[in-house]
Amino acid sequence: MAENNRPLVEVKHLKEYFDINMGFLRTKPLKAVDDVSFTIQRGETLGLVGESGCGKTTVGRTILHLYKPTAGEVIYDGTPIRTKQDIQSFRQKAAMVFQDPYSSLNPRMTVSDIVAEPLDVHKMYKTQKERQERVLELMGYVGLNSEHASRYAHEFSGGQRQRIGIARALAVNPEFIVCDEPVSALDVSIQAQVINMFDDLQDKLGLTYLFIAHDLLVVRHISDRIAVMYLGKMVELADAAEIYDHPLHPYSQSLLSAVPLPDPKAARASKRIPLSGDIPSPLNAPSGCPFRTRCRYATEACAQSMPPFEEVAPGHFVACHRVKEIN
């Protein structure tokens, strides 16, 4: 494949199982991520959505090898990440912005030390002066000034703390950033500022994002393509506009029907598609298609086998046995 067409991040059949202790020396695998595959092109933002507990965060952490993958492969810029050495060099090109700006910052460290921590770990400066200049440059990227450098995280608001976390993620000059619900803990007015900042940084520094969120409006604003997950499986993947205008999977259709519309007329005309039942436990996932227990179109075939994740239109992938009949 030509260099310029090669995806920056390629995830192939990724699985992440956690052994859960069931008592009496028995364990059972909790399939947090079960056979997920996708690619992210250089400079692209892939939005990853789904309800709480579907495995979105685990996908992000497993890609960065914060969890060791149970099976499958992560390929970064054409190089599979397998050995400790691979992981070390990958972590100088990839970073993560965590969901909770309160617990992801060390309360005993000043902002300057928090932002400089990746520089210290990877020995990315020669003198203290160079370190300090780099810290101030990173803080400038995210709208913090030099007066903030000597203060502690608890002295800042949630939005400012998230900016500190973003500055820390940018410290290693990453090409790829996993954003794990970076605005879900923030006020709505602050969310817009932080999302716009992600957009600006992407243009300025040429970044590639995996943007994990459960708020579909946020994801639509920032993403080029959107992937929908349900119970550890990927059920749909397409361009952002395509998923919004023509969702093909029954789960995506239900999710999008719940998005509030700003136009009262359109809101009255739109039909909610409620889901029946509760989300099953990933410890006792249904056989076949994981969504079948809540799907109004489910048939016996859905219980027999997991539908393949296949391309039903150019660039539009869906995992549903009845996708052609119901759309």
- pLDDT tens per residue, range 121-163: 988 999 999 999 999 999 999 999 999 999 999 999 999 999 9
307 inside domain? no
Backbone dihedral region for residue 27 (phi beyond 0: left; psi -120 to 50: alpha; all else: beta)? beta
**Average pLDDT of 63-82?**
95
CA 220, CA 213: separation in Å to the nearest integer?
10
Name the region of 204 (left: φ>0; alpha: ψ -120 to 50; beta: rest).
alpha
Would the pLDDT of 272 be above 70?
Answer: yes
Residue range 85-99, pLDDT digits in tens: 999 999 999 999 998
- Tally of structural domains, the chain: 1
What pLDDT was estimated at residue 1?
A: 43
Residue 37 belongs to domain spanning: 3-93+174-252
> 153-207, pLDDT tens digit by residue?
999 999 999 999 999 999 999 999 999 999 988 888 888 899 999 999 999 999 9
pLDDT single digits (tens) 45-63: 999 999 888 999 999 999 9
Model confidence at 3, in pLDDT bands (50, 70, 90)? Answer: low
Burial of 315 (0-12, 13-18, 19+ CB in 10 A): exposed
- Quick count: other Cβ atoms within 10 Å of Cβ 70? 17
In a domain, 321, yes or no: no
User: Does residue 7 form part of some domain?
Assistant: yes
Decide if 61 is inside a domain. yes
Q: What does the pLDDT look like over 101-111, one tens digit per residue?
A: 888 899 999 99
pLDDT value of residue 57: 95
pLDDT at position 20: 92
Q: What is d(CA 302, CA 6) in angstroms, rounded to the nearest whole number? A: 35
CATH of the domain at 223: 3.40.50.300
- 190 lies in some domain: yes
Whether the CB-CB separation of 183 and 119 falls below 8 Å is answered with no
pLDDT of 285 above 90: no
Residue 222 lies in a domain: yes
Tell me how far CA of residue 291 lies from CA of 48, 254, 286, 306, in angstroms. Answer: 17, 12, 8, 10
pTM of the entire predicted model: 0.92
User: Is residue 122 domain-resident?
Assistant: no
- DSSP 8-state class, residue 3: G
Determine, yes or no, domain membership for 303: no
Measured CA to CA in angstroms, residue 252 lies from 142, 151, 243, 304, 320 at distances of 34, 44, 8, 22, 11
Between strands 9-23 and 26-40, the pairing is antiparallel
